[in-house]
Copies of this chain bind each other. A is one copy, B any other.
Amino acid sequence: MGSRRKTGVVKNCFSCPALDRTEWCVLSQAELRNIDKAKSTREYLPGDAIYHQGDPCSGVHCFASGMVGIRKVDADGNAILVRLAYPGDTLGYRSLLAGEEHRDSAEALKPSTICFIDRAVVRSLLDANPSLGLRFLTRATKDLIDAEERILQNATLSVRARFAHLLLVLKERYATNTEDGSVVLELPLSRQDLAAMIGIRPETMSRTIRQFEDDGIARFSGRIVQVTHVDSLLDEIEPENYV
Q: Name A's B-contacting residues (CB within 8 A).
A: 72, 74-77, 82, 93-94, 97-98, 103-104, 126-127, 130, 133-134, 136-138, 140-145, 147-148, 150-152, 154-157, 199, 238-239, 241, 243
Contact = CB atoms under 8 A, between A and B. Distances in A.
Contact of A94 (B77, B134, B144): B144
Contacts of A94: 141, 144-145
B145 A103 contact: yes
Nearest to A93: B141
A243 B78 CA distance: 13
Contacts of A98: 138, 141-142, 145
A48 to B, nearest CB: 23
A91 to B, nearest CB: 14
B150 A151 contact: yes
Query: Which are the 8 A-B pairs with shortest beta-carbon distances?
Result: A155-B199, A130-B130, A147-B147, A140-B140, A98-B141, A97-B141, A133-B133, A137-B137
Contacts of A127: 130
Given A140-B141, A143-B144, A154-B199, 20 more contacts: A75-B238, A77-B243, A82-B148, A93-B141, A94-B141, A97-B138, A97-B141, A103-B145, A103-B148, A104-B148, A130-B130, A137-B140, A140-B140, A140-B144, A144-B144, A144-B147, A147-B148, A150-B151, A151-B154, A156-B199
Contact of A126 (B82, B126, B134, B150): B134
A153 to B, nearest CB: 9
A92 to B, nearest CB: 11
B156 A154 contact: no
A163 to B, nearest CB: 14
